[in-house]
Amino acid sequence: MFDLTGRKALVTGASGGIGEAIARILHAQGATVGLHGTRQEKLETLANELGERTMIFPANLSDRDAVKALGEKAEKDLEGVDILVNNAGITKDGLFVRMSDADWDSVLEVNLTSVFRLTRELTHPMMRRRYGRIINITSVVGVTGNPGQANYCASKAGMIGFSKSLAQEIATRNVTVNCVAPGFIESAMTDKLNDKQKDAILSAIPSRRMGTGAEVASAVAYLASSEAAYVTGQTIHVNGGMAMI
Amino acid sequence: MSDIADRVKKIVVEHLGVEADKVTEGASFIDDLGADSLDTVELVMAFEEEFSVEIPDDAADTILTVGDAIKYIEKQQA
């Protein structure tokens, strides 16, 4: 089940916790994995650990030309990207009334605009090959909202609408577009929260624990597989029951 | 037949998987050759690539038949 032998995947934000877990599971299922990130050293370490069937693609997603170049290079070096996982994301939290234009713009640019641009580069070749899997990592808060994250929530909700539109346009080409929405997952992003914040969140999660990157990655592996061919435009929530949607 | 016409017809045959003799200059991509709206966008992109021309959206909207495509590209390259 979910064998990805011979498939080529590009994972953005692979130097982060969830991205690394996604890269690991796709690799374990047999895919060749392109690792994108901003920290070259971390990417090299991960690539060395995984061994064969890995390539690294450092790029700054807030630079529009770099995003285009990333798509072109990945398509060329991997000899066709079958699986695109748009996982990279940033937060610039702050209460809305004090949110600066810069914090709004940078979060939307990296989390949403770069997804549009990178996906545009890679979708056409997928359509030509009549096969593709586009998986966008959104967030539970893109659906529920979260105080202090108007910019982040807008970007993640945008990703879901984007995915549904694209899914409808290209379904006949056997290219599926889906989202995975993690809840509260152990990562550098959640490490920034203090204990009081963590306790408050855990009390609202039926599972009473944080999720792991591997649990998110497993949903990605399913959507990336040929078994998931009839699933498109969907969002799989991996959140311990904190929101049942 | 011009070289451009041959190359346009070849792209249409390859992309839409239709018989070469059906790809006449009067053939409509959608009505006669079974293309859907996504196919027409892909064909325009393939023409752009093959002939190194840019076909803006308003021009693309006027390219409905094989002959339209040939005429447009001939005009651009003249």
pLDDT reading at B1 higher than 60: no
Instruction: Please state the domain count of chain B.
Output: 1
Q: What is the CATH number of the domain that holds B5?
A: 1.10.1200.10
On the question of pLDDT at B78 being above 80, the answer is: no
- Residue A61 tokens, joined: 């997603």
Q: Considering the domain boundaries, does residue A1 fall inside one?
A: no
Measured CA to CA, the distance from residue A170 to residue A110 in angstroms comes to: 24
DSSP three-state, residue A115: helix
Interface of A with B in 156-175 (CB under 8 A): 169-170, 172-173
Cβ-count burial of A95 within 10 angstroms (0-12 exposed, 13-18 middle, 19+ buried)? Answer: exposed
CB contact under 8 A, A169 and B42: no
pLDDT single digits (tens) B8-23: 999 999 999 999 999 9
**Residues A139-173 pLDDT 10s:** 999 999 999 999 999 999 999 999 999 999 999 99
Q: Rounded to an integer, what distance in angstroms lies between the CA atom of residue A29 and that of residue A83?
A: 13
- Give the pLDDT of residue A194: 87
Is residue A155 marked as binding? yes
Please give the DSSP secondary-structure letter assigned to residue A63. S
> Is A131 labeled as catalytic in the residue annotation?
no
Domain range holding A22? 8-237
Q: What b/e readout covers A218-241, taking b as 16+ CB neighbours within 10 angstroms?
A: bbbbbbbbeebeeebbbbbbbbbe
Which regions of chain A are under pLDDT 70? 189
Determine the Cα–Cα distance for residues A15 and A159; give it in Å rounded to an integer: 21
**Tens digits of per-residue pLDDT, A184-198?**
998 776 787 888 888
- Identify the CATH number of the domain in which residue A64 sits: 3.40.50.720
What's chain B's average pLDDT?
93
Chain-chain contact of A169 with B45 (C-beta, under 8 angstroms): no
Domain span at residue B14 reads 1-77
Which residue in B55, B40, B50 sits closest to B3, CA to CA?
Answer: B50
| CB burial of residue A180 (10 Å; 0-12, 13-18, 19+) | buried
Q: Which residues of B touch A (CB under 8 A)?
A: 36, 38, 42, 45
pTM of the model: 0.92
Spatial contact of A138 and A89, defined as CB atoms under 8 Å apart: no
CB contact at 8 A, A223 and A6: no
Residue among A78, A59, A77 nearest A69 (CA): A59
Task: Report the domain count for chain A.
Answer: 1
Q: Which residue, A182, A174, A181, is CA-closest to A231?
A: A174
The ipTM, to two decimals, is 0.78
Please give the pLDDT value at position A26: 98
pLDDT in the model for residue A45:
97
